[in-house]
Amino acid sequence: MSRRTIVMADGDVIADGPTRTVLTSSPTFAPQTAKVFAPVPVLVPDELAGAVR
């Protein structure tokens, strides 16, 4: 996974930072696991398994 993510809209940077922070802080860009299990910052199902234990 990348360490940094930049999200652009209409040529403007709207989010820039660590990938986990950028993806889990935005309902628009977050994967389903991040939306369902918020505020636990998980991006993929394998991370969820580790967070639950």
Q: What is the pTM of this model?
A: 0.64
**pLDDT at residue 31, as a whole number:** 83
**pLDDT at residue 17, as a whole number:** 96
**pLDDT at residue 52, as a whole number:** 66
Structural domain that includes position 44 = 4-52
Smallest CA-to-CA distance from 20 within 45, 36, 1 is with: 1
Give the burial class of 27: count Cβ atoms within 10 A of its Cβ; 0-12 exposed, 13-18 middle, 19 or more buried.
exposed
- When divided into structural domains, the chain yields a total of 1
- Tens of pLDDT, residues 1-53: 789 999 999 999 999 999 988 888 887 888 888 888 888 878 888 887 776 66
**What is the C-alpha separation between 29 and 25, in angstroms, rounded?**
8
